[in-house]
Amino acid sequence: MNKMTMAATIFVALIVTTAAIWLVFNQMNSLSQTNKVQITAFIIDPEGWENPGGLLLTCSYNITLKNNGINEVQELRLNVKMFVNGREIDVENNVFGVDEGSTNDIFSPGEVRILQGELQYSLHSGGAIDTVGGHPVGASYMAQVLLGNEVLDEAKLTGLFSFELTATITLEKYGGYYGIAYDSVKGEIYLTNGDFHLVYVISDSTHDLVATIPVGTTPSGIAYDSGKGEIFVTNYDSDSVSVISNTDYTVVATIPVGRQPMGIAYDSSKGEIFVTNYGSDSVSVISGSDYAVVATIPVGRQPNAMDYDSVNNNVFVANYNSNSISVISDSDYAVIADIPLERQPQAIGYDSGRGKIFVAYSESHRVSVISVSYLSQPLPSIPESP
């Protein structure tokens, strides 16, 4: 074969290959245009579940579809799935006016349709999900439009209190993890290990252990000072507070306080740290600037937990053996109120958005809710889920 014949053969082969590639691409593009039906809106009220009677919960939804393709489409199928914490839940999906989830009539190019449907969940499913006021907790939803088994488009919605376990971090030493705090500047988690007298530092992006910091004996509570980038740790059996720098993970100060310090809270308005002294029935106030104890405040018996109200600049202290909460003003360190509670409050948290204090107990399966606006008796307690 001479050179001209070989060149011609190669040229013809290139033309054939190019034509084949163009044909395949054109077919794929045509197919995508033909089946280009999209979900332009997916509306479901995550708190819209109703109980029409018995053990059945129902919730309605709307789905808007648009045919953005160039051809008519028929036999589309709709599906709505429900997930709780990443696990699919068995629900019945009814699309109103659609035969077994499929639209049999012709869906023209450019046409828009709004379809309505209803999810039905049977509580006979063995308590697969928790409910609050009849609403599934931790639920999320996915709407799909399909042609045969091909998913053309899907849309997702997050429901009430939806969350998902994405990782589990295993540490080298087991036991005694009493306190945890988050460093929002560096994106790191600080965790006290009371059994081994350590503080762990964990990256929130990689979940790797960044540092292991020796502190006092039996570290318990922990709080983060966002102003200085420091972490304060109560050492229960050392009667002290360790101060850790988040730049090099070293203990930059050790502050003597009362006996058996446990709970701790950071007052961002004054740059002070409040510490409950379980064995001294008092609260120590530490200056964040020079680490000096500027006040010692008598409270109830065996204070063990606390939280800070940044709106009213008050500190709430749970008194374990007084069955009460002491309210401290950070302006003059005075106890301005004492709230009676159920037996042995163990943990306390403040919701700044709603102005509510939540209190958990050692000897009760209940949580008390207290309104900060008037600081009176607790609202009715929330019973433990069965």
pLDDT digits (tens, 9 = 90+) for 263-310: 999 998 889 999 999 999 999 999 998 999 999 999 999 999 999 988
Provide the pLDDT for residue 305.
95
Fold equal for 37-158 and 257-383 = no
Q: How much is the pLDDT for 83?
A: 81
Average pLDDT score, the chain: 82
**Bridging pattern class, strands 131-132 and 135-136:** antiparallel
pLDDT of 25 above 50: no
Q: Domain 37-158: give its CATH superfamily.
A: Immunoglobulins (2.60.40.10)
Torsion sign over Cα 328, 226, 190, 184: positive
Q: What's the pLDDT score for residue 262?
A: 96
Q: What pLDDT sits at residue 375?
A: 46
User: Does domain 257-383 fall into CATH 2.130.10.10?
Assistant: yes
Give the mean model confidence (pLDDT) for residues 198-205. Answer: 93
Average pLDDT over residues 91-101: 70
**pLDDT for 384:** 53
Q: Which amino acid is at 47?
A: E
Residues 6+ apart with CB under 8 A from 267: 273, 274, 308, 313, 315, 330
Q: Parse the chain into domains and list their residue ranges.
A: 37-158, 257-383
pLDDT-above-70 percentage for the chain: 77
**Dihedral sign for Cα atoms in the order 144, 147, 150, 152:** negative
**Tokens coding 305:** 């937990």
The sign of the torsion formed by the CA atoms of 304, 181, 362, 334 equals: positive
User: Which residues have a Cβ under 8 Å from the Cβ of 6 and sit 6 or more positions away?
Assistant: none
Percent of the chain residues past pLDDT 90, beyond the cut: 38
Q: Are strands 230-235 and 219-225 parallel, antiparallel or unpaired?
A: antiparallel
pLDDT of residue 377: 47
Rounded mean pLDDT, 322-341: 92
Q: Is the pLDDT of residue 172 over 90?
A: no
Say yes or no to pLDDT of 319 above 70: yes
Contact 330, 316 (CB under 8 A): no
**CA separation for the pair 104, 94 (Å, rounded):** 16
Helix/strand/coil (H/E/C) assignment for every residue in the chain? CCHHHHHHHHHHHHHHHHHHHHHHHHHHHHHHHHCCEEEEEEEECCCCCEEEECCEEEEEEEEEEEECCCCCECCEEEEEEEEECCEEECCEEEECCCECCEECCCECCCCEEEEEEEEEEEHHHCCCCCEECCEECCEEEEEEEEECCEEEEEEEEECCCCCCCCCCCCCCCCCCEEEEEEECCCCEEEEEECCCCEEEEEECCCCCEEEEEECCCCEEEEEEECCCCEEEEEECCCCEEEEEECCCCCEEEEEECCCCEEEEEEECCCCEEEEEECCCCEEEEEECCCCCEEEEEECCCCEEEEEEECCCCEEEEEECCCCEEEEEECCCCCEEEEEECCCCEEEEEEECCCCEEEEEECCCCEEEEEECCCCCCCEEEEECCC
Q: What is the pLDDT of residues 43-78, one digit of tens each?
A: 887 666 776 666 777 888 888 988 888 888 877 888
pLDDT mean over 228-246: 95
Q: Is the pLDDT of residue 24 over 70?
A: no
Q: pTM of this prediction? A: 0.62
What tokens appear for 336 in the block?
């301005």
